[in-house]
Structure 1
Amino acid sequence: MVDDVSVSQDTFIGRTTELESLGAHVAAARAGQPGLVHLTGGAGSGKTSLLGAFLAGDACRGMTILDASCRPAQVGTAWSTVQALFRPVVPAADRAPASPLFRGAQHALPALLPGTAGEQPPAPTHPVLHALRVLAANLMADGPLVLVLDDVQWCDEQSLRWLDFLLRRASELPLLVVLAQRTEARPVVSGAATAIAARHPVTTIALDSFTAAEVAEMVGRVLPGPAEPSFTWTVAAMSGGHPLVLTRLLRALRTAGVRPGEGEGRVVEIGRAVVAASVREVLGHLPDHVRDVARAVAVLGEESPDLVGALARVPAVLTESAVAVLRRAGLVARDRPDLVHDVVRSAVLQTIGAHVLADLRNTAAILLSDAGRPADKVAEQLIRMSYGTRPWMVPMLRDAACLAEREGAPAAAVRYLRHLLEVKPDDVPVRVHLARLLVETDPSEATLLIKEALTLTLDVRKRAEAAVEFAMACIAVDEPAAAVPVLIEVLDDLDLTLGPGSADVDQELRTLAESALFITGSAERSTIASIRDHIDRMGTLPGHTLERHRLLAVTSLLTVTGDCSAKEAVEQARQALLLPGDALAGWPQMVSALVLGFADEVEESLGALDGVLRYAEEKGAVHTYALALSSRASVLYGLGMIPDAMADARLAAKIADMQPRGKSSRTTRITLAGLLIDRDEPEHAETLLAQIEPLALDRSVWGHPWFLMVQSRARRALGDHDGALRLLTACAESIDETGSANPAFLPWWADTACLLAEMDRRDEAGQVAERGTEVARRWGTARTLGLAALARGVSASGRASVGLLTESVEMLSRSPARGEHARAEHLLGRALFAAGDQNAARRHLRAAADLARRCGALALAKAARRSLIDAGGRMPEITSSMVDILTGTERKIAGLATSGMSNQAIAQSLFVTIRTVEMHLTSVYRKLGVNGRAELRSVPWAQDGDPQIPEWVFVSLGRRRAET
């Protein structure tokens, strides 16, 4: 444990370079090369501690040291600094004249011994200056001399003139002069120390803030135990690297018993108090106009000197010099005209009374507005005012919110609108705008805001706009049914009020409300039939407006659930995506992407979803981002890309759980559960499914049957075939009730046929397979046709089964559904084994295991391996990592290849031939099913991982990563 004394001196820790520089000058002085060092730094920068460490170190051993610290109270006393320097070596007044030290230096006595014989201190005439130089030379007769002056800015003029005189005549003397100056303090003799430095060869050492490495060193010296990087970073951030503040903070942390392994919360709490005290101390030693400028900078932030000066009521010339003083004091950043840290800002603002601060903010807002600064700069002042908003401020806050929204800063836009709502609580457009933003971060609050807005106005247009946002909020909270009656009422009011000949803008508003009704109503089992009938009666949607394309996106999704072909659905989805740019970004683009995914137009589907993700990131739309991740996970799941789908689903769930009253959406949990079953974790999947609220799920058109099918797969994986069959029967009934005939929507019939075949109920399996085949042929994609052949194949037996399953393998191999392809390979291999063709069986079973492993479908891969072993084949144990199928050498070479090393470099590093590297890489490519280095880098080497939430999500939610 470091004691209190050493803690107070720790400010020179990490100043290795500075100490080495001073030591080099001492060595030069010993060799007869005089030197001058100008040491500069703000208050608390560690000048005094560094000088103390230097003088007490080995470098000065055996030298004569004269050191003194100048004091403001002695500025007016002639020769006060010289007297302080020589006091340790000057004998008493009655013995001084006879001392050998004063041989040839008698004229120095009046300057060194004021009041001798009633004399006044002499002027700095040549005899006095020369005598003092002789005195210094006498001291150097026995060895080198080090003269150290701290706080030289308060040195008296006579002493400074002598130092200059001495240095001009110090050639070949063993002398080192060190002048330490506080940079933020104005010198009494203006520019004297600088002038001395300008006239003589000098080394200037500027003591800047500590680096991160130096802060870490101090933390290690003062606090016990190893420090986490985040702890050290917080200490550095709170102190700004300022030596004095850092020393005080570390002492306070040690006194409070804080250990480096603890969280950063206590560092922040204690640091605020330490910084506030240090800031008050620094400001207390500064002139009034500098303090005024500091407060103006605290209010305005990074702004031009003319605005800072106008707010501080200080002339521009003085403003710039005041900022320089504040920078030297460590309050203003070195690279920008703003305070170093928001903690410092808070500390500066605490020195201002509440009324004065309010007046400053009001004046700052007017100055910024008059200067034409962006609305958000003005709004930041307005929302911090403690009294009422004036009329001119209302449009400024509206403009600031719109600007923040466009620039992807929803948290800022929400702050502006909340403040505006406090001023105008009955403003419906403000409520609707605020709710639209909160849908992305706090949809529950958004629904409450819009419910209130609907009661505050009778204007049919405002109600329609509010109802549309209410629908989006209801979708976000998984309660779309709540929006349906509101939208129906609004549409009726629009029809009654506007009439058939209304303006185009009103017709577009009606179309927008209608699309909101369709997207919410089609999600409810009780309303989907009427919604579908309404769409059938609509006919072709003309025009290319945004609202009509949104409506087209909804109808394309309903087409998927109906009795149509994939070609028709794809055509509608593509038409819905015709508008350029971000016009359709959000749920319309996601809906269209899902339709394309159902139709096996995979590249277009994933491309559209990637576009939504980019848009959401640019706009700070957290809910849209999570929903797009969940949608992409569903598409990837259908493609058999289990690790990628798992990463998206997990990230979507983590983001959803971050939001206020947040919980992962039902669709995300169902997707995760299905992925876990394929990962051979059915127990975990059932636990996840059990967390979904059943009442809300029962109403869902999409979620209810999907939940039942995934639950049935979990039951089947756990050996409960009867329970799985009951769930699949319920799934079929749920789909029939909503009229959803599409086989690609939910292939429950393929699961049912396979399950009945396993239960040796092939006749029933055949009936279900025929039903699925009929709708699959109408849809017409390779995936659904391959699943239909698979369902018929497991229902048949003997050569008929082999033929149908062979057809399934061929059809699915042409589809993007790699997981279904692996399943068909497995079933074909088992059928061939049952038919007595062991060689062909092993070939297909091995292909099934390899393909399933590459997909990340561990349950299927393990089942295929067991079947392969039963058929007389051999295969290593299936594990969660694809790397496990490689030998040690293969794994090492593959790792070097993915890092970017060439074959020649790999061969040299492993001391093997290039041919050996090529042979092993060929084996790696074959085992992992990739075609080269580019694909090798994309291999999911480990199935598990904890996806990191992007930093912008924390910003949009107004939170810090540490809070989670």
Structure 2
Amino acid sequence: MAQREAHNRRALLEREAELAAVDDALAELTGAGGPARGGLLAIAGPAGVGKTSLLSEVRTRAAAHGCTVLSARGGDQEQQVAFHVARQLLQPRLAGGTDAEVRETLGSWYGIVGPALGLCTADGPAPDPQGLRDGLDWVLTHLAVQLAPTVLVLDDAHWADQQSLNWLAAFAPRADELDLLIVVAYRPDELPPGADAFRVLPGRAGHRPIGLAPLTEAAVAQLARDVVGPHADDAFCRECWAVTAGNPFEAVELIAKVRDRGLPPDGTSVHLLRDLAAAVKGSGLITRLERLGPSTVRLAWAAAVLGTEVRPALAATVAGLGTETAADCADRLREARILTGSRTLEFVHPLIATAVYRAIPDAVRVALHGQAAWAVVDAGLGPGAAARHLLETHPEGDPWVVHQLRAAAREMLRAGAPEAARTHLARALREPPPPGERAAVLYELGCSSQLLEPSTTVNHLRAALEEPIDDPELRDGIHFRLSQSLAHSDRLSEAAEVVAHAARTATNARTRLRMQSEQFMWDAFRADEPDSPSRSRRLTRLADRLSGRDLTERYIIGLRAWDALLRGEHTSTVLRHAGRALEGGLPWADEGRGFEVPVLVAMTYLYSDRPDRAEELFATGIADFERMGWRGAHLSFGYLLLGYVRYRGGRLAEAEELARDGLRLAERVGRGTPVQWYSVAVLIEILIARGRTEEATALAAEYAFREPFPAAVTFPDAQAVHGELLLARGLHKEAAAELAAVGRRLDPRGMRNPGWCPWQLHLALAEAHDAPQRARENALDAVARARQFGAPSAIGHALRVAAEVVGDTDEGLTLLAEAVDRLTGSPSGHQLACALVAHGSALRRTGSTVAAAAELERGLAAAVRCGADGLAERARDEIAALVPRPAPGAHPAPAGGRGAR
């Protein structure tokens, strides 16, 4: 340790500016002279330039400032080990206590981040990658707060595993909000694309990382004289600098070799320096290693294959050496400044490790990785540790290899690393697996790709179905996953056909019913379903004879409730079936099922004027998603549709906040995904309701919210929302064309409920200018459909729009009065505000000023409560218009005159 500290001090020559930046950052972190502030320090430079020495000094100075230090290092051989760096950083701070203490510390995150950090085994569904990343964010934030001030040091970031590096790159901007300083060192030419954030994030050094330059001739001369003595002459020192190009690692090693050999530090030794420098790296290093003997070489090879922090006993096993022989070899490697450490072995510098690894003959390296895989399994380190070695071996049709890779993939999937799981399974497929296992491996490979590339999942699962499959559950699982992946790729017709075929060929009655339920669901979402009325009749007949004894039956009953809603059956029928579906429970986060049916059942309550019940169901679903670590598309849907519930209830400000949360989460899932369409549609509707049409227009432009629309039926209907936006912008002809297209799509399918999709009402408003009679017919037909459905909010909305189309006639006033009456008894605060303002405005225009004032005041109060700013402004304008204004040129009557009476 003393030798390494001396080495670090020598290697830190000419690093005054960098150390000053470190001191400044630590001073700000600890609040010296002002409020405490964290941040990012990125240090970049080629191999051997002194990054590790500088980070060692950072750790020393951080400890001297009273900071907690979290430290990790990427490894060339550990890049395939998911969360390797995250474990180094966080595990030591969490693993010291009992399991109960760890559970208490992590709370609800225990089952999500615990497997990734090696704190527990995974026993539940896999979290999605975003959920796990959120969990790691929470853990690091928690530690940074509890242990503040905290310094996180990551060396060799270019070799960090993909999962850890992506997480830290995304987390880094948050360091400014915490008492946390993140210090990262990397080789800029080897930093993977996913970590580009480290190159551009504003840190203590501005928008660029701190670059380390080679040492000058004077600094190398000082190094030489510190080690070999002040009598080292200028020619000797100059040549030391020239042959190492000022690289600190090479200079220190060269000068140490001069000292160890007892060479005179003068002109007589200058001709030897170039050969000595060559022995520090590359082929010269390997030649020096080979001189230590074949057993020592094998131990060095074994250590290079095993990576960082190598157990001596494990290295001995891989090298095929006895304990005493391995200990002697380790001593020789330490004396040669190749390895360091006793309890664990580590190469003195990553350059040495890389050179040794690359010098291993190809066939020998493959064999050593194979031996390492067996050794780590025998040592109890598990299939995850073995998998990284098996990835380096050649396929040989070994069932043991397939077994270990599949087990490792399951570990990775449950730990939230589907990319790593996919890599392991792809290698298992090349082994290849025994013929009877190939379908299962393809199925697992498809499952691991589902969150990453649904289209790739489709290919794997279709290939699995072409293999012989003896296990019926496996075949059913393949059909289910395949239909899900097709649906999530916006290929709903293919998704429905997959489960329809599975239902036709099923030999088990319950399996057939399960597949029928899936087919009903995907058909319900299809915008191009060829015979929707026929499907509705079949669904009705089936659901009405089911008791709801299991989840499959309750799913079918739930789909019956949703279908009744779309078709505009009375709310009593809709709510009866929804209640039946919920009697035995509808889990939102069942890994073997989608979350679509529970969402549909919750939405039936919303459209049936039971937003309180809908909100309860969504709150339960969101809690389930968060508990399972499903914080991607699942949680995005939950938030945005909860926002839609608030919108329908007239709580527009809360609705907007939730919808923006949903859109933010949808952004992490990816552009063009179904969840993003939903998010944008909901947010546009909310902005229109709030009177912010320009903002809604900009949002639609930003996300290309226009044709072609998704193949799935959405709520709200995306095309109808687009038509509503065109109408709000005053583009009546374009809006009429878009909304008429919605009607041509939905009406033939029997989707006639204006409470769900009020396309007729918006179309009537769009046509009122050019085709008033057709507009009237559309509006009154929508009123009739709403009355059939029976929800007061739907009826009131339809009556208000019909009155606007009819105009300021007795009929129009009657319609508005009934609209106000209906909506007063509904939970739709925004629609009530609209009806009150419309009724008050109509009364003012027909001369009933007293009644108008009362309605407008009520409407203004309701609009303000809802957050409908545009509507509130309109109400104020109408109230102002009620005040009589003096005629031009007239003068106010004097006090006490006739004008006062």
TM-score (normalised: structure 1): 0.54
Q: Are 2:576 and 1:566 equivalent residues in the alignment?
A: no
Gap change, CA 1:380 and 1:542, over 3 Å in 2: farther
- Contact 1:480/1:520 (8 A) holds in 2: yes
Deviation at 1:394, TM superposition (A): 2.0
1:434–1:446 CA contact under 8 A, matched in 2: yes
Residues 676, 684 of structure 1: 8 Å contact kept = no
Q: Which residues of 2 match residues 711-750 of structure 1 at below 5 A?
A: 711-750=722-761
Say which is worse superposed, 840-849 or 582-591, in terms of deviation: 840-849
Displacement of 1:454: 3.6
User: CA 1:415 to 1:239, structure 2 compared with 1: closer, same or farther past 3 Å?
Assistant: closer
> 1:774 matched to which residue of 2?
784
What secondary structure does 2:409 align onto? helix
Give per-residue Cα distances to partners, 1:138-171, cap 9 Å, x unaligned.
Answer: xxxxxxxxxxxxxxxxxxxxxxxxxxxxxxxxxx
Distance 1:799 1:508, change over 3 A: same
Counterpart code for 2:557: L
- Find the counterpart in structure 2 of residue 428 from structure 1: 439
Is the contact between residue 585 and residue 615 of structure 1 (CA under 8 Å) also seen in structure 2? no
1:663 and 1:774, CA in 2 relative to 1: closer, same or farther beyond 3 A? closer
Matched position secondary structure for 2:490: coil
Query: What is the CA distance between 1:402 and its match in structure 2?
Result: 3.3
1:666-685 → structure 2 map (5 Å cutoff): 666-678=677-689, 679-681=692-694, 683-684=697-698
Residues 255-310 of structure 1, C-alpha deviations (whole Å, 9 max, x = no match):
xxx9955567999xxxxx99998999799899998995896498376787765665
Deviations 1:203-253 (A, max 9, x none): xxxxxxx9969999xxxxxxxxxxx9799999932269xxxxxxxxxxxx9
Greater RCO, CA 8 A, separation 6+:
2
Letter in 2 for 1:655: R
- Any unmatched runs of 5+ in structure 1? 18-41, 51-209, 217-227, 241-252, 268-272, 499-505, 875-964
Letter in 1 for 2:549: H
1:787 is aligned to 2:787: no
AA in 2 matched with 1:790: R
Shift of 1:827: 1.2
Query: 2-side partners of 1:852 and 1:383: how far apart?
Result: 63
Secondary structure of the residue that 1:236 maps to in structure 2?
Answer: strand
Q: Which amino acid aligns with 1:237?
A: V
Q: 2:483 aligns with which of 462, 468, 471?
A: 471
Residue type matched to 1:657 in 2?
Answer: G
1:383 pairs with 2:391: yes
Query: Which residue number in structure 1 is paired with residue 529 of structure 2?
Result: 525
Contact 1:238 1:343 in 2 (8 A): no
Counterpart amino acid of residue 610 in structure 2: E
Structure 2 CA distance for partners of 1:12 and 1:734, relative to 1, 3 Å: closer
Structure 2 Cα separation of the partners of residues 297 and 261 of structure 1: 37
* TM-fit CA distance, 1:592: 2.5
Structure 2 vs 1, CA of residues 355 and 745 (structure 1 numbering), >3 Å: closer, same or farther? same
In 1, Cα distance between the equivalents of 2:55 and 2:539? 80
Match of 1:482 among 466, 473, 494: 494
Shift of residue 442 of structure 1?
1.5
The aligned runs of 1:261-300 (5 Å cut-off) are 261-262=206-207, 296=303, 299=306
User: How much does 1:846 deviate?
Assistant: 5.5
Shift of 1:737: 0.5
**Corresponding residue number in structure 2 for 1:198:** none
SS at match of 1:237: strand
Instruction: Measure how far apart 1:739 and its partner are.
Output: 0.7
Larger mean CA deviation between 529-538 and 847-856 belongs to 847-856
Deviation (angstroms), 1:684 = 3.0
Retained in 1: the 8 A contact 2:303–2:310?
no
For residue 657 of structure 1, the aligned residue among 670, 673, 693 is 670
Aligned counterpart in structure 2 of residue 706 of structure 1, from 717, 739, 742: 717
Q: Deviations over 1:889-936 (max 9, x none)?
A: xxxxxxxxxxxxxxxxxxxxxxxxxxxxxxxxxxxxxxxxxxxxxxxx
- Aligned residue runs from structure 1 range 98-497, under 5 A: 236-238=183-185, 261-262=206-207, 296=303, 299=306, 307=314, 310-311=317-318, 354-385=362-393, 387-388=395-396, 390-424=398-432, 427-457=438-468, 461=472, 464-494=476-506
- State the distance in 2 between where 1:291 and 1:814 align: 84
Structure 2 counterpart of 1:545, which letter? D
Whole-angstrom distance in 2 between the partners of 1:512 and 1:341 = 59
Please give the per-residue CA displacement for 1:591-633, whole angstroms capped at 9, x wherever unaligned: 3333333233334434444554555553557444444455445
- TM-superposed CA distance for 1:824, in Å, is 1.9
Residues 688-730 of structure 1, C-alpha deviation per residue, up to 9 Å, x if partnerless?
6865443x65x65558x93442233223222233443344344
Report percent identity of matched pairs: 21
Q: 1:47 to 1:745 in 2, by over 3 A?
A: closer
1:600 aligns with 2:609: yes
3-state secondary structure, aligned to 1:742: coil
Contact 1:566 1:781 in 2 (8 A): yes
Preserved contact between residue 680 and residue 859 of structure 1 (Cα < 8 Å): no
Residue pair 2:561, 2:577 contacting (<8 A) in 1 also:
yes
Partner SS, residue 392 of structure 1: helix
- Whether the 8 Å CA contact 2:641–2:659 is kept in 1: the answer is no
Corresponding letter in the other structure for 1:742: N
Q: Please tell me whether the aligned partners of residues 532 and 749 of structure 2 are also in contact (alpha carbons under 8 angstroms).
A: yes
State the distance in 2 between where 1:734 and 1:309 align.
72
Q: Does 1:826 align with 2:826?
A: no
Say if 1:842 and 1:873, in contact at 8 Å, map to a contact too. Answer: no
In structure 2, what is the Cα distance between the partners aligned to 1:647 and 1:344? 51
Match for 1:549 among 550, 554, 557? 554
Which position in structure 2 is the counterpart of 1:26?
Answer: none
Matched with 2:541 is 537
CA–CA distance in structure 1, aligned partners of residues 576 and 354 of structure 2: 59
Shift of 1:850: 5.8
Distance 1:303 1:616 in 2: 39
C-alpha spacing 1:404/1:259, structure 2 compared with 1 (3 Å): closer
Residue from 582, 587, 591 that aligns with 2:600: 591
The separation in 2 between residues aligned to 1:560 and 1:864, in whole angstroms, is 34
Are the equivalent residues in 2 in contact too, given 1:440–1:624 (CA < 8 A)?
no
Residues in 2 aligned to 1:5 and 1:395: alpha-carbon distance in whole angstroms: 49
Q: 1:294 to 1:780 in 2, by over 3 A?
A: farther
Q: C-alpha displacement at 1:787, in angstroms? A: 2.0
What residue identity is the alignment partner of 1:573?
A: A
- 1: CA distance, partners of 2:595 / 2:785: 31
| 1:924 aligned partner | none
Q: Which amino acid is 2:425 matched to?
A: L
Q: CA deviation at 1:806?
A: 4.6
Q: 1:12 to 1:448 in 2, by over 3 A?
A: closer
Distance in 2 separating the partners of 1:375 and 1:567: 56
Cα RMSD, aligned residues only: 5.5
- For residue 644 of structure 1, the aligned residue among 657, 663, 667 is 657
1:562 partner letter: R
CA apart distance, 1:517: 1.6
Match of 2:516 among 514, 519, 531: 514
Cα drift, residue 835 of structure 1: 3.6
- Output the CA distance in 2 between the equivalents of 1:818 and 1:292: 76
Question: Could you say if the C-alpha distance between residues 369 and 347 of structure 1 is closer, same or farther in structure 2, counting changes exceeding 3 Å?
Answer: same
The Cα shift of 1:472 comes to: 0.9
Residue in structure 1 matched with residue 14 of structure 2 by the alignment = 7
Secondary structure in 1 matching 2:183:
helix
- Pairing 1:612-623 to 2, within 5 Å after superposition: 612-613=621-622, 615-616=624-625, 618-619=628-629, 622-623=632-633
1:238 match: secondary structure: strand
Q: Give the Å deviation of 1:742.
A: 2.5
Q: TM-score normalised to the size of structure 2?
A: 0.58
